[in-house]
Amino acid sequence: MKKIVISTGGGDAPGLNAVIYAVVKSATLRGWEVYGSRSGYKGLLDLDEMVRLTPEIVEDITPTGGTILGCTNKGNPFAMPVENLAGETLIRDVSERILKNFNRMGFACHIAVGGDGSLEIAHRFAKLGMPVVGVPKTIDNDLEATNLTFGFDTAVSTATEAIDKLHSTAKSHDRVMVVEVMGREAGWIALNSGISGGADVILIPEIVFDIDKVCAKIGDNELHGKDYAIVVVAEGAQEKECDVFCREGEVGMQEVVLGGVGEWVAQRIRDKTKKDTRSLVLGHLQRGGTPTTFDRLLALRFGAAAVRLVESETFDHMVALATPAMIAVPLAEAIKSRKKVNMDNDKVLTAREIGICFGD
């Protein structure tokens, strides 16, 4: 009888609970025991934070958002922020303790569900001898090795619904409405929701924008009798000769926190066009709520496929969608490159052909 452990690392994404459900159900069917490590590696670090997962415990979780195990983006075991007796925060490598606990529990494998950062950590553990299977997770959908990640469809649906609703105010008040969506390095959420929601301008990290081009599009709208505009901006979008907008990074965080470009763009449009311009940030609304049917199904498939990889001992690999199949990709390869929006992507071509401006 095998004993396996599952953890959810990094930020939450709709569909995490569906992965846990599928792992628990399909592992139990094989007669295995499943444990959950709370808050990423916390359960493996401190066994009091380890929970036994049974089919009864996970019975109703598939449609729920978040993760029953909790997650953290401050939990890198190779650089963990630890408070000493004097109250100072020090960075410590606690990987050895995690490996010891893993072996003490007699686990046959760790299923690590996470984005690029968490999968990189999982790969480091694999190199230290821990049998690991990865499951890709990110609402940004920016992992090259898989056609899609769960959470993305839900995030795009939420963003599209928000953009749809903004049309009322924009049109009634002749305003420019700027909406900031997530997307650190890749503009997939902005692109998909912007096209579907009827945006006039979409600004993404892959295309450095010129604010004069953005304002020219707003002016062009007016020439054609449309006195309002919707601008969708990915948080990682960058104006020509400017930096990406970020708030301070925190000690131990895997990545700095982005945000602020939406209001910056709104202010620039206000100054240059004198039009009534407002901004809003969708933020974590995009990560919340019940996963769409598409995301649930993808997450369930990822979970079941991960258990198949454990069974065949295909360790140091990640499950990936190569439509319509589930495949195994070596983790070393999976963490190598980001999936960015290419300029010859059909969605970009479509957007341009229906008159959407990218600020270039």
Active-site annotation, residues: 140
User: Which residue in the set 43, 75, 183, 197 belongs to the binding site for ligand F6P (CB under 6 A)?
Assistant: 183
Q: Which residues, 299 to 358, sit near ligand F6P by CB under 6 A?
A: none
- Residue 138 within binding range of ligand F6P, rule CB under 6 A: yes
In angstroms, the Cα distances linking 309 to 123, 186, 320 are 15, 29, 11
Closest C-alpha to 319, from 297, 337, 336, 304? 304
- Residue 211 within binding range of ligand F6P, rule CB under 6 A: no
Q: Quick one: 189 or 309, whose CB is closer to ligand F6P?
A: 189
**Binding residues for ligand F6P, how many (CB under 6 A)?**
13
Q: Quick one: 130 or 186, whose CB is closer to ligand F6P?
A: 186
Give yes or no for a contact between 191 and 351, defined as CB atoms under 8 angstroms apart. Answer: yes
User: Which residue in the set 98, 126, 139, 282 belongs to the binding site for ligand F6P (CB under 6 A)?
Assistant: 139
Interface with ligand F6P by CB under 6 A: which range of 98-106, 181-189, 192-200, 293-301? 181-189
Please give the Cα distance from 196 to 216 (Å, whole number). 22
- Residue 115 within binding range of ligand F6P, rule CB under 6 A: yes
Interface with ligand F6P by CB under 6 A: which range of 135-143, 171-179, 334-342, 344-352? 135-143
User: Which residue in the set 25, 42, 184, 317 belongs to the binding site for ligand F6P (CB under 6 A)?
Assistant: 184
Please give the Cα distance from 24 to 62 (Å, whole number). 12
Question: What is the DSSP pairing of strand 317-322 with strand 325-330?
Answer: antiparallel
- Residue 182 within binding range of ligand F6P, rule CB under 6 A: yes
- Residue 140 within binding range of ligand F6P, rule CB under 6 A: yes
- Closest CB to ligand F6P: residue number: 182
Strand-pairing partners, residue 6, are: 36, 111
Give yes or no for a contact between 5 and 35, defined as CB atoms under 8 angstroms apart. Answer: yes
Please give the Cα distance from 326 to 165 (Å, whole number). 36
User: Which residue in the set 9, 11, 75, 136 belongs to the binding site for ligand F6P (CB under 6 A)?
Assistant: 11
State the nearest-atom distance from the C-beta of 41 to ligand F6P, in Å: 17
State the nearest-atom distance from the C-beta of 108 to ligand F6P, in Å: 30
Q: Quick one: 40 or 115, whose CB is closer to ligand F6P?
A: 115
Q: Which residues, 67 to 96, sit near ligand F6P by CB under 6 A?
A: 73
- For 218-254, b/e burial (b = at least 16 CB within 10 A) is beebeeeeebbbbbbbbbbbbbeeeebbbeeeeebeb
Interface with ligand F6P by CB under 6 A: which range of 19-27, 118-126, 133-141, 194-202? 133-141
Q: How many CB atoms lie within 10 A of CB 355?
A: 11
Q: Quick one: 43 or 115, whose CB is closer to ligand F6P?
A: 115
Provide the angle, in degrees to the nearest 10, between the axes of the packed helices 261-273 and 211-223: 60
Strand-pairing partners, residue 319, are: 328
User: Which residue in the set 6, 98, 112, 258 belongs to the binding site for ligand F6P (CB under 6 A)?
Assistant: 258
Strand-pairing partners, residue 252, are: none
Interface with ligand F6P by CB under 6 A: which range of 33-41, 61-69, 177-185, 300-308? 177-185
Q: How many CB atoms lie within 10 A of CB 74?
A: 14
- Residue 246 within binding range of ligand F6P, rule CB under 6 A: no
Please give the Cα distance from 81 to 12 (Å, whole number). 20
State the nearest-atom distance from the C-beta of 184 to ligand F6P, in Å: 4
User: Which residue in the set 206, 235, 263, 316 belongs to the binding site for ligand F6P (CB under 6 A)?
Assistant: 235
Interface with ligand F6P by CB under 6 A: which range of 128-136, 180-188, 201-209, 300-308? 180-188
Give yes or no for a contact between 214 and 285, defined as CB atoms under 8 angstroms apart. Answer: no
In angstroms, the Cα distances linking 256 to 17, 245, 252 are 26, 10, 10
Residues that bind ligand F6P (CB under 6 A): 11, 73, 115, 138-140, 182-184, 235, 257-258, 287
